[in-house]
Structure 1
Amino acid sequence: MASAKPVVIYPPDEEGGRRVRIDSQVAGRAYSVRDVVAFCQEAGLQGWDEMDVVRSALIEWRGGGPDVWTR
């Protein structure tokens, strides 16, 4: 994945959303791994799927991994 960019997923907020930052730009709030996939694809990480998001070393999960969506 030559076009890979660093991705940071922040801890869940009180509504269960997690802020997503890709390559130092805030992409939005995700409510599931599927949302993170959509943000990654919009940022040019074409071909990424849920398994790529869960396993990628490019993604830094803060406040819990991909299975944590509540505070």
Structure 2
Amino acid sequence: MGDAPIVVHRATGTGGRRVTIRAQISGLAHSDDDLIEFLRRAGMPDAWEALDDPAWVEWQGGHPHEYNAG
């Protein structure tokens, strides 16, 4: 695992990806909108700009921005 404070984990078999922020589970995202809401609640109002920055977000197991198991 990298040093990014936000980790979007592998998609679950039923869809959605678990999101952790600073090693704390934030919830299950089914879309970028869900992910942005978790980040907003964590105090990151400009989260859209960080989604594709590997210094901020580590996308594990699958392509970024895809939320269904494939």
User: One fold, TM greater than 0.5?
Assistant: yes
Q: CA deviation at 1:65?
A: 2.6
CA offsets per residue over residues 11-59 of structure 1, 9 Å max, x none?
Answer: 110111100000110000000111111101100112222x532x22210
Question: CA-atom RMSD, angstroms?
Answer: 1.6
* Paired residue secondary structure (2:20): strand
Partner residue in 2 for 1:11: 10
Runs of 4+ in 1 over 3 A off after TM superposition: none
Partner residue in 1 for 2:66: 68
Partner residue in 1 for 2:47: 48
Aligned length: 65
Q: Provide the C-alpha distance between the structure 1 equivalents of 2:46 and 2:64, rounded to a whole number of angstroms.
A: 19
Would you say the 8 A contact 2:39–2:47 is kept in 1? yes
Q: Which runs of 5+ in 1 are unaligned?
A: none
- Structure 2 length as normaliser, TM-score? 0.80
Q: Which runs of 5+ in 2 are unaligned?
A: none
Would you say the 8 A contact 1:33–1:66 is kept in 2? no
* Paired residue secondary structure (2:19): strand
Would you say the 8 A contact 1:18–1:31 is kept in 2? yes
